[in-house]
A and B are shown apart, each in its own frame.
Chain A
Amino acid sequence: MMRNIYLVFRRDYLGYVKAWGFWLSLAAVPLFLIVGASFGYFAATASPVRYFAVVEPSRIYADAIEGEFQRRSSEAAAEARALAEQMNIPLSEAEGQVADAAGGRKFIEVPAPARTLEELRPWLTGERTISGPAGERPLFAVFILSEDGSQLEYWSGDVNVDTLQRTAEIAMRDLSRRDALAASGLDPDFLKQADAAAVKVPAFRLNATQAGESGAEVTMADRAPTIVSAALAYFLWLMIFSIIQYLLMGTIEERSNKIFDTLLTSVQLPQLLAGKMLAVFAVTSTMMLSWSLFAIVGSAVSASQVPGMGDMIQPFIAAVTDPKLIIPALVSFVLGYILYGTLFMALGSLCDTIQEAQTLLSPMMILLMLPMFAIFVAFQDPGSPIVDIASWVPLFTPFLLILRMPHDPPMWEVLAQMGMMVVITALVVWGATKVYRAGAVHGAGIGELGGMIKRAVGMKPKAG
């Protein structure tokens, strides 16, 4: 029996992993991350130095904008120094980077070569250039104070790059606040001081099992189980979501290839189903594990490079290895996978063509979106009565039981829900096997599903 399951599994698994699509999917996530990160880095470093000018009677607004740029540079330099200290990089080595962070300005103010927009147009359009710290360049933008002094107009040939305009807006707002505070006789840093003096609202976790202890401030160790359980629930959802096409297409291929009769003289139907389910599970696991490996290697590199990262990861490792969370999570994971997998495979066995299968995809997606909403609600408010009730709905139980585990639900509920999942999964497997047999062996179509369900629940007499 196991040999037949293995042979079906092996053939299907190799069939999937030999396809180009599998390798493309496998490489897509790391590639996407690497390309995305590289693109961001190159976009930042490749951005050219741009000149701007401010036309105003005095230098009030030009100084305010320059002040805002300097404040940002100082912040960046401070962050760079702090990071260098954390990473034990000698300050002398870090100085260069700090200087880069402070001095790597992309917008530099130059004296305005003219006073009106019309006169400035040749410099803005690139017909003329102006000399500055980065050599001869055209003007990227000019700010012109309106005659009544109510607007600092921003003029540029490229309005898509709005960093300069936004920086100027922040500078103008700060300038206005400082003027208002000064006019009221208050310190210019009055608002910052007020913010710093606000009463803090720290979160503490009450230790219900040890009445004598008052509890401790909420740390990552307290949050890690919830985050891990949410990740597991989402992982299960993602896995089920990604197997739909494999199960549907694989079954349609066999049905349209008329291969079932040959197979069923060599393997029993449950063996065939088990082999196929395992193959798809292995395919998605291969993908997920590869991506996880990528993430683990990335984390390990970070942990070795960034002091304190190891301590940050530790609570998550503790949560993943906690039997109280991981045992119900594994039970939910396996049963949830079987429940949804057999359901989709049975539906696929009723389709002759991809077009037919596509008509099934929409209801399947809706079916899968429901647990996603439930996961979202449960993550936001795990103690909600809605979550308690929804966790008894068989289609949601595998996801919600995982999510409830960090919040210590009553043991009887955990056991009862696991028992319910076993019963429901067994029923679904039984029904799905019947549907699969009808589709694969007798050639039943999707239109006959209603009749099958009616017969199964006794609403319609059996034919013949």
Chain B
Amino acid sequence: MSDAPLVLSHATKRFGGFTAVNDLSFEVPAGQIIGFLGPNGAGKSTSLRMSLGVMQPDEGEVRLFGARPDLKNLKRVGFLPEERGLYKKMNARDTITYFARLKGMSAGDARARADELLETTGLGKFRTTRISKLSKGMAQKVQILSTLAHRPDFLILDEPFSGLDPVNQQTLEDLIKAEHARGATILFSTHVMEHAERLCDRIVMLARGRKVLDGTLDEAYATLGSGARITLEPGFDLPAALAPKGFGVHRAADKGPGEAWRVDLAPGQGPQDALRAVLEAGAPVIGFQPEEARLRDVFVSLVGEAEAAALDAPAGAATEETV
């Protein structure tokens, strides 16, 4: 049995007639940063809550450091929930100290660690300020610090960037990198693809409760392939002209004069091959740009396919997520 920080094996969770997470399997290897992506209601938070033992899977299994989640192995975990919440009447220092002590730190160590973290993140002068008196961003920072205070081996962050301004988003990115450099394994869910692209070693993508991708960023890009953006004078039927040559052609959003098309490239084909084929077909070209896939495109494509598949599924198979 793997002692990886987290392994989900065929985990399924249902709420009434609604399947929130469906046969989900993936592993978080030690020392990596994993991005957990998916649209709203995809089952990310439910998966994370199952990973922590807050709720049990109806089917399948969750292993945290090789064992079922319990207080012993959860002491090695720091968890930032999607819905932030702190005791509003406690001050910043007591809050961090309290959660660090619950994770097993002694009172003295926890207090010293709270002071150190508040100082390094610029909140030193607010250490005795009540949470209710802090700005939303500051309170969120305090919660993040509460998650890190006991120096966990494994950090699970559910939408850590939501609600933060760009400056604080950058601070959080730096914190995540610092924790990773310290040796922590990190799993975080996000909607912001740029964060995932900058931070992650691997991506696990979820749609409609099912895993649609599990791999490195390159493997993610490869699912979509590269292409070329061609802009023509209006009125030319490019799909018909390129179909005999085996190119897939889709209409793309116009960004200026003319009609924009995206030409998909098969493995081994380059953008020049597409341009050559278009010119040979006599198309009135007014623009040309090679296109590399971004994570956002992969996300839209894979999630879009899953959504379309769900729409094709028999009625009643899915309802609105309530939990």
Contact = CB atoms under 8 A, between A and B. Distances in A.
Interface of A: 4, 7, 11, 15, 18-19, 253-254, 257-259, 261-268, 441-443, 463-464
A15 B101 CA distance: 17
A267 B71 contact: yes
A266 B83 contact: no
A264 B54 CA distance: 6
Contacts of B81: 258, 261-262
A265 B74 contact: yes
A266 B99 contact: yes
Contact of A265 (B15, B54, B84, B89): B54
B116 interface: no
Given A442-B323, A463-B15, A265 B58 contact: no
B256 interface: no
B15 A266 contact: no
Nearest to A269: B54
Contact of A257 (B79, B86, B323): B86
A15 B90 contact: yes
B316 interface: no
Interface string B82-117: 011111111000000011011100000000000000
A4 B102 contact: yes
B178 interface: no
B85 A262 contact: yes
A301 B226 CA distance: 93
Interface of B: 14-17, 49, 52-55, 58, 71, 74, 77, 79, 81, 83-90, 98-99, 101-103, 143, 146, 323
Q: SS class of chain A's interface: helix, strand, loop or mixed?
A: loop
Contacts of A263: 102
A117 to B, nearest CB: 66
A265 B16 contact: no
A15 B89 contact: yes
B74 A266 contact: yes
Contacts of A15: 87, 89-90
A442 B54 CA distance: 10
Q: SS class of chain B's interface: helix, strand, loop or mixed?
A: loop
Contact of B58 (A11, A257, A441, A464): A464
Contacts of B103: 266
A278 to B, nearest CB: 16
A268 B71 contact: yes
13 contacts: A7-B101, A11-B87, A254-B87, A257-B87, A259-B85, A259-B86, A261-B49, A261-B52, A262-B79, A263-B102, A265-B53, A442-B55, A464-B58
A268 B72 CA distance: 11
B148 to A, nearest CB: 13
A355 B323 CA distance: 23
B86 A266 contact: no
Contacts of B102: 4, 7, 263, 266-267
Contacts of B86: 257, 259
Contacts of A268: 71
A436 to B, nearest CB: 14
Contact of B79 (A11, A261, A464): A261
B212 to A, nearest CB: 24
Contact of B83 (A7, A253, A261, A441): A261
Contacts of B143: 262
Which 7 A-B residue pairings sit nearest by Cβ, starting from the closest? A258-B85, A257-B85, A258-B83, A266-B102, A259-B85, A261-B81, A464-B14
A249 to B, nearest CB: 12
Contacts of A4: 71, 102
Given A7-B102, A265-B52, A463-B15, A258 B84 contact: yes
Nearest to B48: A261
Contacts of A264: 52, 54
Nearest to A443: B323
Contacts of B16: 463-464
A261 B87 CA distance: 13
Contacts of A18: 89
Nearest to B79: A265
A11 B323 CA distance: 29
A261 B81 CA distance: 7
Contacts of B101: 7
A265 B323 CA distance: 18
Given A7-B102, A266-B102, A464-B17, 12 more contacts: A15-B87, A18-B89, A254-B85, A257-B88, A261-B81, A262-B143, A265-B53, A268-B71, A441-B55, A463-B14, A463-B15, A463-B17
A443 B49 CA distance: 13
Which residue, of A258, A262, A443, has the highest number of chain B Cβ atoms within 10 A?
Answer: A262
Which residue, of A11, A254, A267, has the highest number of chain B Cβ atoms within 10 A?
Answer: A11
Nearest to A437: B55
Nearest to A464: B14
B266 to A, nearest CB: 44
B87 A7 contact: no
Which residue, of B52, B79, B83, B102, has the highest number of chain A Cβ atoms within 10 A?
Answer: B102
A258 B85 CA distance: 5
A268 B87 CA distance: 19
A260 to B, nearest CB: 8
B88 A7 contact: no
Nearest to A255: B85
A12 B14 CA distance: 34
B192 to A, nearest CB: 21
A423 B88 CA distance: 38
A68 B322 CA distance: 80
Contacts of A11: 87, 90, 98
